[in-house]
Amino acid sequence: MSESDSSVPSKKAPPPVLYSFPNPDDLSKGLASFVLAAQDEALKKQDTFKLAVSGGSLPKVLGQDLIGRQDVKWDKWEVFFADERVVPLDHEDSNYKAVDEHLFSKVPIPKEHIHVINTDILSDPEAVADDYEKQMIATFVGSDAIAFPRFDLILLGIGPDGHTCSLFPGHELLEENDGWVAYLTDSPKPPSTRITLTFPVLNHAHRVAFVATGAGKQDILSRVLDNPSEGLPCSKVKVVSPGQVYYFSDDAATAKVKYQASEWVASFRL
């Protein structure tokens, strides 16, 4: 793991693509089409579709229009968490529990393809992070990743302070250059103890998609997209070319955004 940079990629990052939908239902349909396109593109080249997901409101949006579709190859999905709270898997703060409730429990993803934290070592968050990184190393060995893994897709939320994963404004983990998975015990948002993917991992993905809905996201989405030099964590996700960062939002969330949105095409293809 010797690549020298973290949040700034080694190649010029393309500008993010913003899609703004009239309402959350239309956004969910668009996101489902996008995820399926990423799935199909990945499975042309490899046996599994490797993705990482966040918690929060994302699992509900993700599952809404994917569950029940015949063209989802659930048996080929291999899922990691972009961040996780160091709590038991059935705890109300667990990202696994949130995604399980809205997605995993309703679809046939093989249990061994859902990568969770080791709950036997919760008292040692550093060990939890190390174990999770070892799970990733085992999964990505033999892929085209050398210093860092290349997820086919990472799905993220946007916090009200501009944080994503468990990478918070002003935190020392914003400068983590080498590790794949890091831990923190001082999260400004409870619970305080978490693990998170690092910027090098985010920035080496094939695609990263942020999902933000509702008027409550207006101010932060404008800051992230219209003033990236402010350096909020979301703005520091700059995927190495030929990868791409996307924002999936509704019109309520983008009401104050000046950044030019792209037109969504119903027959979306990558």
Residue 8: predicted pLDDT: 45
Element (H or E) spanning 250, and its range? Answer: strand 244-250
Q: List the one residue out of 87, 56, 99, 49 whose CA is nearest residue 195.
A: 87
Residue 56: predicted pLDDT: 87
Residue 96: predicted pLDDT: 97
| Reported pTM | 0.93
Residue 88: predicted pLDDT: 98
Residue 10: predicted pLDDT: 47
Per DSSP (E only), the strands in 173-216 are 181-184, 194-197, 207-212
Q: Is 108 exposed, middle or buried (0-12, 13-18, 19+ CB in 10 A)?
A: exposed
Spans of the chain, pLDDT less than 70: 1-11, 142-146
Residue 1: predicted pLDDT: 39
